[in-house]
């Protein structure tokens, strides 16, 4: 069994991560899961959430929008709409997005077409703030 596996995280705009890692955890539609080298192949969908990976004993955290996560052999590819490392997240912008989503949801009912859009925006802002709090700042 290999000690590391290749991790690629790709958005429609660019490749965010392309490294060898020891472990990956992510948030799937059915809950959180982890992958170690030698894991059985699988494909799953991701929801808005956190992805963490360990590289040389250091854990890096990222905020992801929805997408897909595939494991095959000792390789993982993550295709997502957006991805930000903890250090890249602008906390003030995330707080502002949280406030906008909360205000919009107060004015909408569950039946309103935009309700799900603002629920997703609220969830994304909360995840971004949580992940930003895990950044190693210099």
Encode pLDDT of 12-32 as tens digits: 999 999 999 999 999 999 999
pTM, whole model, 2 decimals? 0.85
User: Are 133 and 83 in contact, with CB atoms under 8 Å apart?
Assistant: no
Task: Report domain 88-132's class.
Answer: mainly alpha
Is CATH 3.90.550.10 the right assignment for the domain spanning 5-86?
no
The answer on pLDDT for 116 being more than 80 is yes
Domain ranges of the chain: 5-86, 88-132
What is the secondary structure of 102-121 as a DSSP string?
A: HHHHHH--TTSTTHHHHHHH
Q: What is the pLDDT of residues 99-113, one digit of tens each?
A: 988 888 888 888 888
Q: Do domains 5-86 and 88-132 have the same CATH topology?
A: no
In a 3-state reduction of DSSP, which class is residue 73? Answer: coil
Buried b (16+ CB within 10 A) or exposed e, 21-44: bbbbbbbeeeeebebbbebeeeee
Distance CA 102, CA 11 (A): 27
């Amino acid at each position: 069994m290999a000690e590391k596996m290749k991790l690629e995280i790709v958005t429609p705009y660019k490749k965010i991560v392309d490294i060898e890692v020891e472990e990956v955890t992510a948030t799937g539609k059915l809950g959180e899961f982890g992958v170690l080298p030698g894991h059985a192949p699988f494909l799953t969908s991701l929801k808005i959430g956190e992805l963490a990976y360990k590289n040389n004993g250091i854990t890096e955290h990222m905020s992801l929008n929805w997408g897909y996560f595939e494991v095959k052999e000792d390789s993982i590819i993550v295709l997502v709409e957006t991805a930000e490392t903890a250090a890249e997240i602008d906390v003030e912008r995330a707080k502002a997005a949280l406030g906008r989503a909360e205000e919009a949801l107060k004015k909408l009912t569950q039946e309103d077409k935009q309700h799900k859009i603002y629920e997703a925006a609220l969830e994304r802002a909360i995840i971004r703030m949580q992940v930003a709090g895990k950044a190693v700042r210099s």
